[in-house]
């Protein structure tokens, strides 16, 4: 890394941990000699209020007097792992099939990480959309806040509409361009 505070570098790594209550977390990468600070404001500028531990992340960083800090999030990828079967009525299995679903704009009604689920409302539709905590984690989030704007990929299940992927509204808008 260059010593110049204005020199920005793009690095790719994994989220070591992120605590929304503390307002920060750290990224680990082979490219930097130490952990990279990820502040909540930088994450919010990307459109997310949280990020899952282990999620892949690409950021622009700069060297400061306190060490290497992320100044812009470029991309977040869900943590590596196996897929998640929502229920017996879920026929979607592959990431390609999930990615083929349309993104629907929604606002989080409520989400309780302790209970492991929550609900959102798609704009212009009266019914709730169920969001499971594992879908959230596989989408690269750790938590959602009431009122948060998101884009959802949804399937119709026996008990109603269920999210199979959650994207921050800003990330969804950027990918639609």
Domain extent for 108: 95-176
| Residues 133 and 169 reside in one and the same domain | yes
Place of tokens 């470029």: 74
For the segment 111-121, the average pLDDT, to the nearest whole number, is 93
Is residue 45 domain-shared with residue 113, that is, in the same domain? no
User: Looking at residues 109-132, what average pLDDT do you find?
Assistant: 94
pLDDT, residue 2, reads 43
User: Which pLDDT score is estimated for 49?
Assistant: 84
Instruction: Please give the residue that has the higher pLDDT: either 173 or 93.
Output: 173
| pLDDT mean over 112-124 | 93
Q: What is the DSSP string of 89-120?
A: T----SHHHHHHSPPEEEEEEEEETTTTEEEE
Residue 90 pLDDT more than 60? no
126 and 157: one domain?
A: yes
* Cα–Cα distance measured from residue 84 to residue 81, given in angstroms and rounded to the nearest whole number: 9
Q: How confident is the model at residue 119 (pLDDT cuts 50, 70, 90)?
A: very high
pLDDT at residue 4, rounded to an integer? 46
Residue 84 lies in a domain: no
In a domain, 83, yes or no: no
What confidence tens digit (pLDDT) does each residue in 4-26 have?
446 789 999 999 999 888 999 99
Higher local confidence (pLDDT), 43 or 32: 43
Q: Say yes or no: 115 and 146 in one domain.
A: yes
Residue 88 has pLDDT above 90, yes or no: no
Mean pLDDT of 44-73: 90
Q: What is the pTM of this model?
A: 0.67
Tell me the average pLDDT of the chain.
84
pLDDT given for residue 71 in this prediction: 95
What count of other Cβ atoms lies within 10 Å of the Cβ of residue 57? 26
Residue linked to tokens 């990929």: 153
**Residue 159: per-residue pLDDT:** 82
CATH no. for residue 17? 2.40.50.140
Using one digit for the tens of pLDDT, what is the confidence trace for 162-172? 999 898 887 77
Structural domain count, the chain: 2
The pLDDT of residue 109: 96
CB 76 within 8 A of CB 51: yes
Report the C-alpha gap between 89 and 95 in whole angstroms. Answer: 17
């Amino acid at each position: 890394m260059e010593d110049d505070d204005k020199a920005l570098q793009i690095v790719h790594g994994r989220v070591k941990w992120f605590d929304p209550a503390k307002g920060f977390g750290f990224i680990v990468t082979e490219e930097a000699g130490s952990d990279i600070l990820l502040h909540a404001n930088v994450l919010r500028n990307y459109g997310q209020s949280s990020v899952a531990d282990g999620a892949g992340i690409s950021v622009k960083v700069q060297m400061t007097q306190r060490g290497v800090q992320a100044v812009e999030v470029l991309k977040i990828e869900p943590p590596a792992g196996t897929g998640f079967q929502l229920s017996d009525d879920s026929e979607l299995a592959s990431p390609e099939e999930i990615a083929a679903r349309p993104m629907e704009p929604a606002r989080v009604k409520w989400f309780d990480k302790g209970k492991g689920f929550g609900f959102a409302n798609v704009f212009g539709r009266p019914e709730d959309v169920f969001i499971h905590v594992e879908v959230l984690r596989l989408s690269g989030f750790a938590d959602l806040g009431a009122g948060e704007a998101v884009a959802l990929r949804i399937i119709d299940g026996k008990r109603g509409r269920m999210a199979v992927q959650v994207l921050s509204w800003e990330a969804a808008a950027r990918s639609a361009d």
